Every structure is written in C-alpha cells, then in structure tokens.
Structure 1
Amino acid sequence: MHYLIVENDQVEELTYNVVGFLWDNGNEVSIQKRYTNNDNYLLEADCVVSLENKCFSIDNLDNLAKSKLFLRFCSDGVYSNAIPSPYKIFEYKILNKRTLAAFFSWCKKLNLFEGK
C-alpha cells in the first residue's frame, strides 16, 4: 500500500515513528506538509495519514479526506474511514511514543498494515 503522510511540526517525532512503522512493514510512504486535489502523491496514495494534537472532529476533515481512505492519529485515539463513517479503531488518553508503541503492537498481532 502507498501511504501519504501529512507532516505536522507539533508532533514531528511521532510522525516519523508512524512513517517508520509503515515503511518497516513493507509499505510505500510519501511525506508532505500539505496536499492539493491534483497532487501526484495524493493521487497515487491508497491512504492519507495525519497526526493531530487535538481530539478528532468530523468538522476538521476536508472534502478530499472524506472521499479518500484516511488514518488519523488524534489526541484521543486513532480514527479511520476504512469502515463506514469515521470510526475510532484504537483508543488512548494521550498521543505519545508509548501509546504509538501499543498501537503498533496491536497492529502486528492482527497483521494490519503489512505491505504486499
């Protein structure tokens, strides 16, 4: 799978932890600060990944994110639209290295995000 990672300077170190996890599991990864509707990386991406330093809100999603598969790491959990409607697929109380490690461990047990 090809993931487009949207950089967020506020959580830069955590962003690169996510990049490393996806890359180490055999996926293609592109990193950008922002994207547009006709951006080549966006058009090639199977999933758009972002990290937020706040709680999830459907109001914060742009139209493009609503139409493209996304994975959003927020301060209260990991959300995705892989199943109908944005759904919290993993819950934690704060986004930090420890909770990311727990999420990655959970993903490995379920063989999630393994590249082909």
Structure 2
Amino acid sequence: MKCIILNNQSKNEDALLSDIADFFWNSGHEVVLADGRSSSAECKRDLNDYDCYISIMNDVATPSFFRNHRILLEKTKHLVLIFSYEGVFTSAIPYPHQIFSYEQLNQNSLVEFFEWFKKLNLLFKA
C-alpha cells in the first residue's frame, strides 16, 4: 500500500511524524511525506496515486478540519487516517469515526496505538 503522510503540525512535533512514518514503513508500506500546510510537489500529485492518506494534527479535531478531509474523500475512495490531539479517526467506518482515543498525542499514545493496531493485524502486508 502506498501511504502519503500530510504533516499539519509545527516543526517541534517532527518526532511524532517520524514515528508514524517508521511504523507504516516497517509494516511493509511505501511512505511519502508531505507538508499539508503548503502546496508542496507531493501534495500536487494525483490523489489516486495513494491508497491511504494519513494526516497528523496535534490539536483538537474541529468540524472544519473534518470538512477539509471530506473534500479529499469525495475525490477518492481511499482510506484516511487522522491523528489528532484526542485520538485517531478513520474513513473506513462512516466518516469521521474515532477508532482509538488517548488523552494527548505524544510518543506514549502512539506506542499504545501501534500495539493495538498490530494486535488487530490492520494494514500489514502479508
């Protein structure tokens, strides 16, 4: 699966981006990083080039944030995973559906999410 990770957070949160990218890369997926705040070359690529869109926003997910992702979903039928301050949301179940919650997006909450994700064997290449 080819994943694009859109970083919508500040530079001081790069460790979270690296952890998420490493997790999907080590799970056997191709990973492309893009800055979701700008019109980078990766963001301009055809949306259908990717199977999964991963968005990272270390803030509370607001209705406008979900509305922006809904526009993406209307253009494609691919999986969307959103890492926000209070949990992980997905488009796999009627959008937006929170599949995992935590008190704050940090290294510890990512470790818990990754363990849960691996336990369910979600999105791993055979």
Q: Report the TM-score range of the alignment, normalised by the length of the smaller protein.
A: 0.7 to 0.9
Q: Shift of residue 2 of structure 1?
A: 1.0
Identity among equivalent pairs (%): 32
Q: Which residue pairs with 1:87 in the alignment?
A: 97
Q: Which residue pairs with 1:25 in the alignment?
A: 27
When structure 1 is superposed on structure 2, of 43-52 and 13-22 the one drifting more is: 43-52
Q: Shift of residue 39 of structure 1?
A: 2.7
Residue 93 of structure 1 aligns with an amino acid whose one-letter code is E
Distance 1:45 1:30, change over 3 A: same
The reply to whether residue 65 of structure 1 matches residue 72 of structure 2 is yes
Per-residue deviation, residues 51-108 of structure 1 (Å, max 9, x unmatched): 1121112321325333343111000000011111210000000000000000000011
Distance 2:117 2:15 in 1: 20
When structure 1 is superposed on structure 2, of 3-12 and 14-23 the one drifting more is: 3-12
When structure 1 is superposed on structure 2, of 50-59 and 104-113 the one drifting more is: 50-59
Q: Which residue pairs with 2:51 in the alignment?
A: 46
How many matched pairs? 115
Residue 72 of structure 2 aligns with an amino acid whose one-letter code is A
Per-residue deviation, residues 24-54 of structure 1 (Å, max 9, x unmatched): 0001111111358x83263311111111121
Q: Which residue pairs with 1:6 in the alignment?
A: 6
Q: Which residue pairs with 1:109 in the alignment?
A: 119
Residue 74 of structure 1 aligns with an amino acid whose one-letter code is S
Structure 1: gaps spanning 5 or more residues: none
Distance 1:66 1:9 in 2: 21
TM-score after normalising by structure 1: 0.87
Q: Where has structure 1 moved over 4 Å in runs of 4 or more? A: none
Distance 2:46 2:26 in 1: 20
CA root-mean-square deviation: 2.0
Structure 2: gaps spanning 5 or more residues: none
State whether residues 9 and 58 of structure 2, in contact with CA within 8 Å, keep that contact through their aligned partners in structure 1: no
